[in-house]
Amino acid sequence: MSDRQLAGGEPVAPTVLEQEGRLHRHLGFWGLTAIGFSNIVGSGWLFAAMYAAQTAGPAALLSWVGAGLLCGLVALVMIELGASRPEGGGTVRWPLYASGRLVGTLVGWSVLLSVGGTAAEISAIMQYADHYLPDIYDGGTLSPFGLGVAVALSVLLTALNWFTVRAFARLNNLVSVFKVLVPVVTVIALFASGWHSGRLTDHGGFAPYGYAACLSALAGGGIVYSVNGFQAPLDFSGETRNPRRTLPASVLTAIALAVLMYLALQLAFLFTVPENLLGHGWQGVSFESPFGQLALILNLHWLSSLLYADAVASPGGSAYVGVALNARHTYALAKNRTIPRFFMRVGERYGIPHRALLLNLVVIVLFLLPFGGWQHIVSVMGDMYLLIYAASAVAVAVFRAGPGRERMAGWVPGLRWIAPVSFVVASEFVYWSGWHDLRLALPLVLAGLLLFLAMWRTGHNERSLGEELRTGAWLVVYLGALTLLSWLGTFKGSGRLPAPYDSVTVAVVTLGIFFWAVRSGTRQMFASHTPS
């Protein structure tokens, strides 16, 4: 596919090339690694160790290792795309190139909704800040005062992202240092206070709730949410020096550092929980603020104070990166014509998509109004963003088989099998999150069909509606199949499809949909390059 064409043969307008050229290429390895790490490590590290232990006991350690390996596999696909086709907001653009406007619109719609993830981090800050300002919450929801503080914080984070990407990277590097330092100090201080031997085998053994609980811990224990976010450097590929060399190393380094940190925190939690709290096993261990309260029980008051301070800084750092990341996504959505091109403009002085930043600020505030709580936002928004991983796996397979395949960087060997496996992995991640979340998230994504039809009627379309529907129908079927299987399955579903056959069925069905999607995308790419 030509650099100056979209899927379906639509030429890229000169204004697109002009705005893309204004992006400043200032980011290097450490800047990108810090962006990835900071986006991964947010509020999750403060809770996931406890919830994972409640779900799987000491076997939660296996869940962290598995999540790291699975995310690494998905990351290889994203890396190949970022190195081959570096572009601002690339994770939104690639599905459009590979699978047409219907898929591009549905994925773009889910990305626009997933701006609520930044609202979740801001909500987490509010919940932790309630330790110091008790008037923030009223009956479990944000009070008018709390909402005012949350909106003010949202405005501040947007203002901090208003200037050059170089300034963004420097400030993010400082935040990342703090986000690394506090967990390391926490692990050292907890072990130094004394630890209990035999914790990996006592209280029901290493896997007191069975090894299948390790899968439940991926979603129910907050592990997937905690490791998610590694793709952030790829959305800055259009602002990176030498992306083909820098992106692979930075993404994989960010994942490895985050998983090592989470494993250390999990071990510290397992070995230092007081014996008297384990009378009912690991499921009976419950804290509102796990590490903060654990530090108080162990008479580490200085550590508790530090943790409550970091409970604001860590989600704040993730929200800071999230605001920048979402602006690149919204910028890309405007290029896709999923939203008006008005939001695509990049400021000449700073090289920042300011209008996209302002639109995201509005979306963040809207999510804070009806939800107000961290758990309520995360439970729905997380699944929407996982759809990008599945769409990206299809895109890399289509690009590899379609015209212009010589542009593939070739950095990742074995893409022929990595792409379908990563598609299935992403699908399992969505499925394991459970019916209670998917019954809201997936139909909400399907509502993007209305946006597709509205934009189709007002746009300049190079392909017929029938052609677009044939090319992108796989995503509609995919979302419907996951919804049905989630209702039938054992992850908070009806249980009509017992374990492990439910996860096996998801793998078989989604693998078939993957090959259908690749065939449809390859066919439309060759058709768009056939001389008329």
Lowest-pLDDT range, 112-121, 406-415, 501-510? 406-415
- At 482, give phi and psi (nearest 5°): -65, -40
- Residue 282, both tokens: 């690991």
The 3-state DSSP class for residue 89 equals coil
| 451, part of any domain | yes
> Is 50 exceeded by the pLDDT of residue 8?
no
The whole-number average pLDDT for the span 186-211 is 89
- Examine residue 338 and state whether it is found in any structural domain, yes or no: yes
Are 455 and 338 contacting, i.e. CB atoms less than 8 angstroms apart? yes
pLDDT tier, 480 (very low <50, low <70, confident <90, very high otherwise): very high
CA distance 430 to 423: 11
Q: Does 11 reside within a domain?
A: no
Most confident of 279-288, 314-323, 477-486: 477-486
Tell me what pLDDT residue 437 has: 77
* Average pLDDT over all residues of the chain: 80
Local confidence band at 370 (pLDDT 50, 70, 90 cut-offs)? low
pLDDT for the residue 22: 47
Domain with residue 323: its CATH number is 1.20.1740.10
* 195 vs 176, higher pLDDT: 195
Kindly state whether residue 515 falls inside one of the protein's structural domains. Answer: yes
At residue 365, φ and ψ (nearest 5 deg) are: -65, -40
Question: Is 10 inside any structural domain?
Answer: no
- Report pTM: 0.77
Residue 287 DSSP one-character state: -
Q: How many CA atoms lie within 13 A of 519 on its CB side?
A: 9
Phi, psi of 51 (to 5 degrees): -65, -35
Q: What is the mean pLDDT of residues 26-38?
A: 75
Does residue 164 register a pLDDT over 90? no
CA distances from 317 to 141, 160, 182, 475, 507 (A): 23, 11, 13, 33, 35
Q: What is the DSSP string of 234-286?
A: GGGGGGBSSHHHHHHHHHHHHHHHHHHHHHHHHHHHHHHS-GGGGTT-GGG--
User: What domain range is 125 assigned to?
Assistant: 25-273+288-528
Domain membership of residue 71 (yes or no) is yes
**Separation CA 444–CA 28 (nearest Å):** 37
Helix (H, G, I), strand (E, B) or coil at 5: strand
User: Residue 141 carries which DSSP code?
Assistant: E
Q: Which residue has the higher pLDDT, 375 or 316?
A: 316
Average pLDDT over residues 54-69: 91
- Tell me what the mean pLDDT of segment 73-95 comes to: 79
Decide if pLDDT at 9 tops 50.
no
Model confidence at 247, in pLDDT bands (50, 70, 90)? Answer: confident
Cα separation, 265 vs 48, in Å, equals: 9
Supply the pLDDT for residue 6: 43
Kindly list the distances between the CA atom of residue 354 and the CA atoms of 110, 338, 350, 357, 437, in Å, as whole numbers in the listed order.
Answer: 21, 18, 9, 5, 33
What is the mean pLDDT of the segment spanning 68-76? Answer: 86
Looking at residue 412, what DSSP letter applies? S
Burial of 12 (0-12, 13-18, 19+ CB in 10 A): middle
Number of Cβ within a 10 Å radius of residue 100: 26
CA angle 111, 112, 114 (to 5 degrees): 60
In a domain, 522, yes or no: yes
127-158: per-residue pLDDT in tens?
777 777 777 877 667 788 888 888 898 888 88
* Phi-psi group of 138: left, alpha or beta (phi > 0 → left; psi -120 to 50 → alpha; rest → beta): beta
Question: What's the CA gap between 265 and 269, in Å, rounded?
Answer: 6
**pLDDT beyond 80 at 245:** no
Higher pLDDT, 523 or 464: 523
Q: How many domains, the chain?
A: 1
pLDDT at residue 449 is higher than 90? no
135-142 contacts: CB < 8 A, separation 24 or more? 140/373, 141/372, 141/373, 142/368, 142/372
What confidence score (pLDDT) does residue 226 get?
Answer: 79
449 occurs within a structural domain? yes
323: pLDDT strictly greater than 50? yes
Structure confidence at residue 5 (pLDDT): 47
